Chains A and B, each alone.
Chain A
Amino acid sequence: MNESETTRSAMTGPLTAPDRVEFIGGGLTHFDRTRDAYSRPAPGLSVTELRSFGLGNRVFNTRWVEAPASVSGFDGLGPLFIRDSCSGCHLRDGRGRPPHEGESDDLASFVVKVSARSKRARRRLAAEIGPQLHTAAISGVAAEGILSLEYVEVSGTYADGSLYSLRAPVLKLRGANAKLPRDLELSLRVAPAVFGLGLIEAVAASAILEHADPDDLDGDGVSGRPNWVSSLVHEGQQVGRFGWKAGAATLTDQAAMAALDDIGLTSSLLPRSNCAPSQDSCREMFQSGQADLSDRLLDSLVGYLRLLGVPARTAVGNIDSLERGYEQFTRMGCALCHRPAMVTDDTHPLPLLRDQTFFPYSDFLLHDMGPGLAGVSIEGIATQREWRTPPLWGIGLLEQVNGHTLLLHDGRARSIEEAILWHGGEGKSAREAFRKSSTAQRSALVEFVQSL
């Protein structure tokens, strides 16, 4: 059986009843539904894997300090950073959020990407700030600025006459130590949840490419194309899988990049500083030499991400109503991008990740989501309007784990409904189908998504 047949049989075989299946993480599914639901190891780990997982978990939770510290091995924060730990943004391995009103930047669980419309301004920004705003720095180095965030409420109407309101973020930069161009562009990205990533990494590139339809040859209004990115560990262009714009091809890439960009940790893969070219004090404070994140720690961190388990679907109450919800999910066209099932490669080196049918509800492709959601892109070939379909699994436990229900790349959507109503571009027809549905249909759909 070739890969496409494997995928198709998984889509139509007995496991598909996606409205019923509980094991949405395949063999990585566990049944912890407490606030640690995103943090549990896959149930089938061997004792050696569990030991390495434990160290990786420790690395993920490490509060890095400025070098040199009395405890060696866990120092090297900065010069520039956003938070001092992975778990600061990915709290309990979950999803970050935009700042609450009046909340200080040192509690950020998001990054802000920085760009400008004109090429000249972009070049200057790249020299003075770099691609991402660092809201914190070690002593002796200035942070790059403070974010200010406001929202504008935009009201709309469902076809049945009932009202809704969406909030559009307005981002500004204060106290920047660089001259800011008039055509500055800022885009907030909350930290995505990190469980189940091993499965996503273990899908064969061909199985992702199979769903790509960049010219919409099948005429369903949804195109979808892979992001092609370079990798620190593989030669040549790779299919991007991780991050809001699928900017990272492997978990090693993702972990090493985030460690450097967001915490300021060097590694053997990225031995440079995270200072922009004209940030002199930052460059002076940077200590080259030994990697902050040793190969051993980076490997255990990646192993940890690879083997974090996936929480089973939240208590599936009323099967009939979930069936109705799933009907709506397919009828409205949600499943064209939020594809229920995926299958991992059957040659993956880790037996746990081999040939697993799982239900991420994503095709891991880029889709044009319209101008309303557009945001700075510096990742691979993704345009401003293109976003990777985010997986929906675990969404029902978000409030339990992270204490909020904020969705989309910048957390502007306060609920599943709002996230749907923000869909534009290729998602427009699904949004319109939702908007035109009855209250009962809409709530069946939301209940279904909430059950994932």
Chain B
Amino acid sequence: MQTEIFRFNDAPIDAPATSARAEGPESRINAWPVNEAAIDYVRGRPGSGLVNSPEPATEQLILDRNQSTDESDVTTGWHAIEFLLWGQDENLLGPGQRPAKDFEPGDLSRENRRAFLRIVSRILVRDLDYLADVWRRDSPGSYAQQLLAMDPLEVIGRALQGATSLVSIELAGERLAVALDSGSQEDEHSCFSDTTHLDLLHDVLGVSNFLEGRYEGERTGAGLLELIAWKSPSLGKRLATALATAQLEAANLHVPFDQILQLSSDRPERRQAERTVTAMHELALALKASAESLGLHIVVPGV
């Protein structure tokens, strides 16, 4: 999740298709929300999904079916794997409780499920390898090399466009506000494994890496915060505060997230979740203001 800020700015993860290359692998890696019934059995529908169809799971079949007839008929990526491992979450106290025997060798469905998990994991690893490869700075013609050859302001602009979009559209919007407004567990980001709070924390950590010039705690170079503080100390302070607040609120989210959705709006857990939405929005505004202080114009809905 720390690398998710590289979405939304024409980088390899989700750049549109051209005559020379296919669209980035984002929708194969991270599509969500998942209609889990397209993959495997769910309560009341024991024969549901590709796993229980008589057709053996193949890479071609799984890729062909991914979001091909409905956006939520997701068959690949993190959340498909998450569902295969945890199963439907009908447990208010914790994550889904898929029994291990679902993966024991045996009947056609179980064999198919084993194959399915193997195949989608392989597809995911291949897509991640591709991304790691195009981000290698020592690989000729890689995206990393293209970035290094660009006007640094253009590179900063791209990163800010991505970070602001992620924080506003995804974090504040689709992952928090939508779930709070719908009250539905299906709108929880990692709804099978109940790791939604960790997704959020690591997404914000990605923003923090970029702003502070750190990766896994290590300083890797100057961060954007220093540049902004040099341009305008007050704006630098605002950005640092917005980042710290977003990190703090994200860390304070009640766990598991789906319990919040059951609560009425006056409950402290829910009010805290709303404060997290606001903190994400404030961070997006501070990122946009920072872009503007550098003469960069970024366009992000709601910001």
Contact = CB atoms under 8 A, between A and B. Distances in A.
A101 B71 CA distance: 22
B186 A47 contact: no
A375 interface: no
A346 B173 CA distance: 30
Contact of A92 (B14, B71, B301, B303): B71
A88 B185 CA distance: 21
Interface residues of A, number: 38
A123 interface: no
Contact of B302 (A34, A50, A61): A50
A27 to B, nearest CB: 11
Contacts of B173: 50-51, 54
Contact of B181 (A54, A88, A92, A403): A54
Contacts of A85: 70, 72
Interface string B167-199: 011000110011001111111000000000000
Interface in A33-73: 33-35, 37, 40-47, 49-51, 53-55, 57-58, 61, 63, 71, 73
A107 B185 CA distance: 25
B72 A87 contact: yes
Interface string B7-27: 000000011110000011001
A74 interface: yes
B186 A71 contact: yes
B270 interface: no
Contacts of A400: 16-17, 23
Contacts of A44: 301
B91 interface: no
Given A45-B302, A87-B70, A88-B70, A55 B23 contact: no
Contacts of A46: 302
A202 interface: no
Interface in B1-52: 14-17, 23-24, 27, 33, 35
Nearest to A34: B16
B300 A43 contact: yes
A73 B182 contact: yes
A12 to B, nearest CB: 29
Given A43-B299, A46-B302, A74-B184, A107 B16 contact: no
Given A34-B23, A63-B35, A71-B184, A41 B70 contact: no
Contacts of B174: 54, 57
Contacts, number: 87
Nearest to A74: B184
Interface in A85-102: 85, 87-88, 91-92
Contacts of B299: 30, 43
B296 to A, nearest CB: 15
A109 interface: yes
Contacts of A58: 178, 181-182, 187
A63 B72 contact: yes
A219 B125 CA distance: 64
Nearest to B182: A58
A243 B225 CA distance: 50
A58 B186 CA distance: 10
B184 A51 contact: no
Contacts of A34: 14-17, 23-24
Contacts of B186: 71
B281 A91 contact: no
Interface of A: 30, 32-35, 37, 40-47, 49-51, 53-55, 57-58, 61, 63, 71, 73-74, 83, 85, 87-88, 91-92, 107, 109, 309, 400, 403
25 contacts: A32-B16, A34-B15, A35-B23, A37-B16, A40-B301, A43-B300, A43-B301, A44-B301, A47-B281, A50-B168, A51-B173, A54-B177, A57-B174, A57-B178, A58-B178, A58-B187, A61-B71, A71-B185, A71-B186, A74-B182, A83-B70, A91-B69, A107-B69, A309-B301, A400-B16
Given A35-B23, A54-B178, 17 more contacts: A33-B16, A34-B16, A34-B23, A35-B27, A43-B300, A50-B168, A50-B169, A50-B301, A51-B173, A51-B181, A54-B177, A55-B177, A57-B178, A73-B183, A85-B72, A88-B70, A400-B17
